[in-house]
Amino acid sequence: MQSGLVYILQSLFDMYLAAVALRLGLQWVRADYRNPIVQFVVTVTNPLVVPLQKILAPMYKIDTATLVVFLILQLGVTAALANFGCLTMPDMLTLLWLAIIRGLRLILNLYFFVVFGYVLMSWISGGAHNPSLAMLGNLLRELADPMLRPIQRLIPPIAGWDLSPIFLLLGLRALATMLVSPAQQVAGGFMCQLGAIL
């Protein structure tokens, strides 16, 4: 019963963290604010981000307030999960490192689904005639294009097929998997079940 409740709470927090991470990505690519999906993400994350924006100035394309909210929430969720998944509670430095790894994995997984959705939307015929699908397709393109462009320069289309999304998806999945090893090294001394934390 307790593990089921932990799973539900973890899923809810991860969805909110994904919204905050998505807000970071939307700000990075300067997505069209008129898009209702962008407005929804901004509205959902505003209660925590807006108060911090009054004291933290943005740096380059990064909204520092959104990044700080993401890191604080990630640290809180990681500490709560470590409380359930570790025999002894990790120290603050270890928790911070696990939170950073967990946050990076969440961002990589989120981008994996963005690129996968972008590819799917490009295959759906008639999406342009459906306003909702067109709106979603435009948003996914805005998010995926900056990551696809460097790969497209290295790997041009072969027989008219753009293979860059496949390489990007493989790269994102490989990076997310590679982050497990440092997490194991950090959490090993506290006998943590990484599946419960990551």
Where along the chain do its domains lie? 2-197
In angstroms, the first-to-last Cα distance of the chain is: 20
Task: Look at 198 and 158; give whichever has higher pLDDT.
Answer: 158
Token pair for 128? 């342009």
The pLDDT value given to residue 47: 95
The pLDDT value given to residue 186: 67
Q: What is the mean pLDDT of residues 101-127?
A: 87
What are the pLDDT digits (tens) for 15-29? 999 999 999 999 999
User: 24 CB contacts (<8 Å, ≥6 apart)?
Assistant: 62, 63, 66, 67, 70
Checking if the pLDDT of 1 tops 50, the result is no
The pLDDT value given to residue 196: 64
